[in-house]
Amino acid sequence: MASLTEIQHPQALRARTVAVDVFGISQRIRTRVAIAPDQIETFSEVVKHHVTDPHEIDELFAALERGQPKPTPRALEYRWKVVAYDASGARIAELYASAIAPFGMTGSGLHFTFVNEEFIHYLAAHYGGVPAGQNSA
């Protein structure tokens, strides 16, 4: 599974990726308990996008790099999960992102903070969520 360094500088990861799944849960959905990262993929209201267009995958990784993830000791609730697959269909990277704050986590549980909101804005704009501070329907 990809390290934080690979996610911070994802060119090599991009080169191996042939498909991406983006799982998103709208911030408008209210829950009894905060959603844990391992719930996202199977959550009843999750929306899944399977991306195979190379140009779209390029854009996704470019947005991730512009987000400049930095290590952080804490994390909030996550509403996004992004899974990258290589040509054999193996999962080579997983990462999680919050919906209304610039927080993320690697698949191995390492928390990080995006220096800006480029990546979560990109996810929201392209995959149906709601960007930070713009939660009105």
- What does the binding site for another protein look like in residue numbers (CB under 8 A)? 26-34, 36-39, 42-45, 70, 72-77, 100-102, 109, 111, 113, 115, 132-137
Compare residues 52 and 116 and give the one whose CB is closer to another protein: 116
Nearest residue to 109 (alpha-carbon basis) of 20, 38, 44: 38
Rounded Cα gap, residues 115 and 61, in angstroms: 16
Q: Which has the closest alpha carbon to 128: 40, 23, 35, 16?
A: 23
Bridge partners, residue 83, by sequence:
21, 94
**Closest distance of CB 29 from another protein, Å:** 5
Nearer to another protein, 12 or 115 (CB): 115
From the CB of 88, what's the least distance to another protein, in Å?
Answer: 27
Closest CB to another protein among 5 and 108? 108
Shortest distance in whole angstroms from residue 94 CB to another protein = 15
Nearest partner of 23 among 1, 44, 53, judged by Cα? 44
